[in-house]
């Protein structure tokens, strides 16, 4: 099989598994609508540049040699996702927009999405386990290979997370006239994010 085709299949496989990135896109679209969801997707795509660069430079090997660095990454990502979930649970109106409220700025959503992706342990696991199998000097310049792999990752993110954003935005629109249901959904998403954070923290603790 062509190496890039195999890499694309692996990228799709890792991207469709629910995780921190997907949860952030989902929450952004549910809270602020389709444009916010797309801004979150754009943040994920931008952060993927860092992941691919790290893979090309071999920083993934450093995380393998120094396990404590990876555990700290797990803990930081879990705490960040937990904070997002707790904020949703504390919100009196949850996903329902308060009267006269102003949606979050798209550039802030973009920045938080990029940060979420950079703190996502799944991305580093993917970099550590998969990239060394595809970045080979005998296949041409490493930079060219890295750019091609980033393009594949970015396309996969746009397709998978974009679909999540569109679906969440449509669900939000359908709940516009049902604030009670919207609030319950917001609390459910908050609980889901807290559960994800707790699982990640437990994983980091066992890895010590």
Share of the chain above pLDDT 90, in %: 18
Contacts of 23 (CB under 8 A, 6+ apart): 81, 84, 189, 192, 193, 196
Percent of the chain with pLDDT over 70: 73
What residue has token string 């980091």?
A: 204
At 38-53, the pLDDT tens digits run: 999 999 999 988 888 8
Judge whether 145 and 134 are in contact, CB under 8 Å.
yes
Average pLDDT over residues 113-124: 83
Indicate the pLDDT class of residue 175, thresholds 50, 70 and 90: low
Which range is least confidently modeled, 2-6, 74-78, 96-100, 150-154?
A: 96-100
Distances (CA, A) of 172 to 28, 49, 97, 123, 165: 11, 31, 11, 28, 10
Query: What is the predicted pLDDT for the residue at 45?
Result: 93
What does the alpha-carbon distance between residue 80 and residue 86 come to, in Å, rounded to a whole number?
10
Give the C-alpha separation, 32 to 154, whole Å. Answer: 23
Tell me, what's the pLDDT at 170? 87
Give the model's pLDDT for residue 51: 83
Asked if residues 29 and 100 have their Cβ atoms less than 8 Å apart, the reply is: no
How would DSSP label each residue in 58-70?
A: THHHHHHH-HHHH
The pTM for the full model equals: 0.70
Section 127-155 average pLDDT:
80
> Could you tell me the residue ranges of all domains in the chain?
19-206
pLDDT tens, 54-76?
777 765 566 666 666 667 766 77
Mean pLDDT of the chain: 77
Question: CA 156, 193, 87: angle at the middle one, nearest 5?
Answer: 120
Is residue 7 within 8 Å of residue 134, measured between CB atoms? yes
- CA atoms of 55 and 50, how far apart (whole Å): 9
How far apart CA 66 and CA 191 sit, in angstroms, is 32
> Predicted confidence band at 123 (pLDDT cuts at 50, 70, 90)?
confident
pLDDT at residue 98, rounded to an integer: 39
């Amino acid at each position: 099989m062509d190496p890039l085709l195999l890499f694309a299949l692996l990228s799709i496989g890792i991207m469709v598994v629910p995780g921190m990135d997907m949860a952030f896109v989902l929450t952004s679209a549910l809270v602020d609508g389709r444009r916010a969801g797309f801004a979150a997707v754009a943040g994920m795509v931008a952060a993927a540049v860092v992941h691919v660069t790290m893979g090309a430079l071999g920083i993934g090997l450093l995380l393998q040699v120094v396990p404590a660095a990876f555990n700290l990454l797990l803990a930081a990502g879990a705490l960040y996702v937990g904070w997002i979930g707790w904020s949703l649970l504390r919100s009196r109106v949850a996903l329902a927009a308060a009267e006269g409220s102003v949606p979050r700025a798209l550039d802030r959503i973009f920045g938080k999405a990029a940060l979420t992706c950079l703190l996502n342990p799944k991305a580093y696991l993917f970099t550590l386990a998969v990239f060394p199998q595809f970045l080979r000097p005998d296949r041409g310049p490493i930079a060219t290979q890295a750019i091609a792999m980033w393009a594949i990752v970015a396309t996969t993110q746009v397709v998978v997370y974009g679909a999540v954003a569109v679906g969440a935005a449509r669900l939000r629109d359908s709940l516009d006239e049902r604030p009670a249901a919207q609030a319950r959904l917001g609390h459910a998403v908050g609980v889901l994010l807290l559960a994800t954070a707790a699982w990640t923290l437990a994983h980091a603790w066992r890895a010590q």
